Structure 1
Amino acid sequence: MNNISYLLALESRGIKMGLNRTKKLLNSCKNPEKNLKCIQIAGTNGKGSVASMLSHTLKGLGLKVGLYTSPHLVNVNERIRINGHPIKNKDLEDLIKKHRKKIELNEASFFEAITLIAFSYFKLNNTDIAILETGLGGRYDSVTACSPELVVFTPISMDHKEILGDTIEKIAIEKSGIIKFQTPIFSSKQRNTVQDILIKKSKDNDCYISFCNYDDDIKLKYLKGKHQNENAQLVYDVLSFLYNNKKNIILKELEKTKWPGRYQVIKKNPYIIFDVGHNEDGINVFLNQYEKESIKGKKYIIIVLQNRKSIINQVKRIEKLFDFIICSETENKYSMDSKVLSNNFLKSKSKVIKNVENAIQTINEKLDLNDSLVIIGSHYLGNSIQRVYKKSFDSL
């Protein structure tokens, strides 16, 4: 088994919450996270988009920028980037080989191991700053072993209830765990209960805290939707705080950010869109934007979800907006059974095509130039999108 295959095989160990094992692993590998200048991002939706915006804009300011995000769309290399370019296979192989014994000794999970690899890669390459997306929650997430210059919160909502808690308050407390003593905090606008939790945590840790007021009109060239504009305004607040004398350059670079799988237009005629929105809020903001489109022909949607995800409050809206609903599955072992998914929708409007590539090919053959196809619901759609449409997600 080569080293990359070994790393991917660690996913079978599942999620291991808790920071102690991560800290022990990092310590045994000479603490690559130490003195790593970084920004940590937590939240429910929008973390990846905000991370990409920060990375792209800081690169435009002339910095060497590390970017660590999850999950990936096709290749695990996508998770670790410098100036938008994914880590090369050789560099990834070398770092896994270097730390493999320690990974085994500490019985590390996949996410703990790849977080170690990211820290090591950024340290080895002397990045000026690294943008680090929290994987799950915050308090016990491996990324929280870092010492950030500041922390950023995207909107916090209900997701991963089985791990983080069954109320918005419990989830917010878990995510607020990334806050560290006297570390500035920048946040999207939050619901009142979440905002109160973040404010209390900031006072307990003597932190400056700022909530985005969305005063700036930022026109993004490639990312669509009100939610992306709000993400951009949050990023503008963060970078204006760090580089107050470079606001014009910040704005210019920010507007050019690309991030695959976020209302990504695969084809214009017919109009085919790929989106990784995978929970109720994610699909809600997608639909908010899609409703503005002027589609003259038929509207198709292929939807997949992971187990335990619920979009019950969006079902009627999807049924009203689309002419045909196709429920499908990805190759991922946690993909929701397509028949179970189809039970959410009216039988007269929905159809099951179990294999998602078959679903895409079947609908592609039906599409006229004025029709539209939406493919939505999971990052794990990336492989199928790449194979069917020959799209690469490597360069940003």
Structure 2
Amino acid sequence: MNYNATLDFLYSQLPMYQREGDRAYKADIGNIVELCDYLGHPERGLQFIHVGGTNGKGSVSHMLTSICMEAGLKTGTYTSPHYLDFRERIKVDGQYISEQEVVDFVQLVSPIIPSVRPSFFELTVAMAFWHFKQTGVDIAVIEVGLGGRLDSTNIIEPLVSVITNIGLDHQQFLGNTHTAIAREKAGIIKRGVPVVIGETQALTSSVFIEQAASQLADIHFADQLYSAQFSDQNAIILRDGANEFNIDAPIYAEYQLKNISTAYGAFKVLQDQLGLTITHFTKGLENIAENSPMIGRFQVVQREPLTVFDSAHNAEGVGILFQQILKLPYRKLHIIYSCVHDKDIESIIQLLPKEAHFYLTELSIPRKKPLEELTTVFQNNALAFTTHESPKAAVQQALEQANPTDCIVAMGSIFLIAELL
């Protein structure tokens, strides 16, 4: 089986959350345990950083990857989903797993696939552990897929657990309240393993404090200890008590400032264990575009008109995105929007700028929100919109309608951004 045939098998024969949603989600870790047992438990003996949370966990994972790389550590990274290339999910020192290694892994585990019946996600997590063991990484940064307690990544014993924040997303799996979701995400807190919480939130802090206490784990709230802001020259100023560090990094989104503080909290915990220095931290952020690019996070793809692609897809993420967008000096705002069918669009639509013109389109995945449903919601909320047959057609129309001083934003789904890149 060649690489394309292998990908076709992964995409079409295994339950895949991006394609099928609820049907592909498995709320237990039994399958990943069976897979890793078959592989000789490649995850054992490796050093890990485990990163969860509702928003920002991917960005923090990329930041920590780049920081570790600057320290000369051979660094594995597992993130999901991918945008353009399946192999984005599994990297060592920024290099994708090779096509041949993907083929080799699937052939290796093929004898047990019929009996275990793993999901697409479970198989890719096992592939990551196997690849990191094969390549002999010094440290691996692992992003949680969904939730935490029952996520396939949660069989690792990390050096530090990181939880960025809690928002309302994937409620059908994790619960309908911030507290319920926090309990699921707190499941990555391990016995005796320090945990860094990115944001102190009234509804969730006690959940993390109680879970950390029950696991005898030191807990650090990054936003209570550190802060980051942009200077007048658009550099980043990071403050740690009386210490102040200036970082000239290619990071432009205000929402990334909280993620920087969170990454710094993890850095502080790991400093002695991994031999990290503040230079490694600052260089890690400054060189992140080369080391571990953050695709689809306030990604500026054009300057005139200013065109931004962002993967914001839940109420918290959308609200934070437009806090910054609305501060920009534009003449008119054009928004390309689409989402998956299980997204709580009613809460999101209240956060969208009413004066914008919307270009509605439909994703090319089975989980798409049908265009007719989108138009009904936008009509009911008296928003100005046009409809377009594809995301690329929507962007093209926005570019034709905009003048150089306008602003174009594409948002609403990771899968929308993937189709545009």
**What is the TM-score with the length of structure 1 in the denominator?**
0.92
Report the CA distance between 1:368 and its aligned residue.
Answer: 2.3
Mapped contact 1:302–1:327 kept (Cα < 8 A): yes
Query: Does residue 1:257 correspond to 2:288, yes or no?
Result: yes
Mapped contact 1:48–1:69 kept (Cα < 8 A): yes
Secondary structure at 1:340's aligned position in 2?
A: helix
Secondary structure at 2:108's aligned position in 1?
A: helix
Mapped contact 1:184–1:207 kept (Cα < 8 A): yes
User: Any residues of structure 2 matched to 1:225-236 within 5 Å, and which?
Assistant: 225-236=253-264
Mapped contact 2:196–2:220 kept (Cα < 8 A): yes
Report the CA distance between 1:254 and its aligned residue.
Answer: 2.2
Partners of 2:77 and 2:383 lie apart in 1 by 45
Q: 1:59: which partner in 2?
A: 69
Q: 1:215: which partner in 2?
A: 227
Report the CA distance between 1:367 and its aligned residue.
Answer: 2.7
Q: 2:336: which partner in 1?
A: 302
Partners of 2:49 and 2:263 lie apart in 1 by 11
Mapped contact 1:239–1:250 kept (Cα < 8 A): yes
Mapped contact 1:277–1:376 kept (Cα < 8 A): yes
Moved more, 348-357 or 170-179: 348-357
Choose from 179, 184, 187 the match for 1:177: 187
Give identity over the alignment, percent.
29
Choose from 26, 41, 44 the match for 2:36: 26
Query: Does residue 1:369 correspond to 2:404, yes or no?
Result: yes
Partners of 1:264 and 1:43 lie apart in 2 by 21
Secondary structure at 2:392's aligned position in 1?
A: helix
Moved more, 243-252 or 32-41: 243-252
Choose from 313, 326, 333 the match for 1:278: 313
Report the CA distance between 1:154 and its aligned residue.
Answer: 0.6
Moved more, 44-53 or 20-29: 20-29
Q: 1:390: which partner in 2?
A: none
User: Any residues of structure 2 matched to 1:32-47 within 5 Å, and which?
Assistant: 32-47=42-57
TM-superposition CA deviations, 1:211-269 (whole Å, max 9, x none): 01233533562222332011011111211221256123312322442401000001111
Matched AA of 1:310: D
Moved more, 195-204 or 286-295: 286-295
Moved more, 5-14 or 42-51: 5-14
TM-superposition CA deviations, 1:370-396 (whole Å, max 9, x none): 22211111111244223xxxxxxxxxx
Query: Does residue 1:93 correspond to 2:121, yes or no?
Result: no
Query: Does residue 1:326 correspond to 2:359, yes or no?
Result: yes
User: Any residues of structure 2 matched to 1:74-85 within 5 Å, and which?
Assistant: 74-85=84-95
Matched AA of 1:281: E
Matched AA of 2:277: K
Mapped contact 2:249–2:285 kept (Cα < 8 A): no
Partners of 2:219 and 2:75 lie apart in 1 by 24
Choose from 3, 8, 12 the match for 1:5: 8
Mapped contact 1:55–1:66 kept (Cα < 8 A): yes
Partners of 2:147 and 2:348 lie apart in 1 by 24
TM-superposition CA deviations, 1:10-63 (whole Å, max 9, x none): 135712120122112211121111111101111100010000000011101111
Report the CA distance between 1:321 and its aligned residue.
Answer: 4.7
Matched AA of 2:367: Y
Unaligned runs of 5+ in 1: 387-396
Partners of 1:374 and 1:14 lie apart in 2 by 31
Report the CA distance between 1:314 and its aligned residue.
Answer: 4.6
Secondary structure at 1:374's aligned position in 2?
A: strand
Mapped contact 1:176–1:198 kept (Cα < 8 A): yes
Choose from 341, 348, 360 the match for 2:374: 341
Query: Does residue 1:356 correspond to 2:391, yes or no?
Result: yes
Q: 1:166: which partner in 2?
A: 176
Partners of 2:178 and 2:363 lie apart in 1 by 29
Choose from 120, 134, 141 the match for 1:124: 134
TM-superposition CA deviations, 1:57-84 (whole Å, max 9, x none): 1101111110000111122111111112
Aligned alpha-carbon RMSD (Å):
1.8
Matched AA of 1:251: T
Moved more, 366-375 or 108-117: 366-375
Q: 2:216: which partner in 1?
A: 206
Mapped contact 1:240–1:246 kept (Cα < 8 A): no
Secondary structure at 2:122's aligned position in 1?
A: helix
Matched AA of 2:315: E
TM-superposition CA deviations, 1:106-157 (whole Å, max 9, x none): 1111111000000000000000100000101111110001111110001111
Mapped contact 1:67–1:132 kept (Cα < 8 A): yes
Mapped contact 2:53–2:185 kept (Cα < 8 A): yes
Choose from 251, 265, 287 the match for 2:322: 287
Matched AA of 2:282: L
Aligned length: 384
Query: Does residue 1:240 correspond to 2:268, yes or no?
Result: yes
User: Any residues of structure 2 matched to 1:181-192 within 5 Å, and which?
Assistant: 181-192=191-202
* CA pair 37-340 structure 1, distance change in 2 beyond 3 A: same
Secondary structure at 2:312's aligned position in 1?
A: coil
Secondary structure at 1:375's aligned position in 2?
A: strand
**What is the TM-score with the length of structure 2 in the denominator?**
0.87
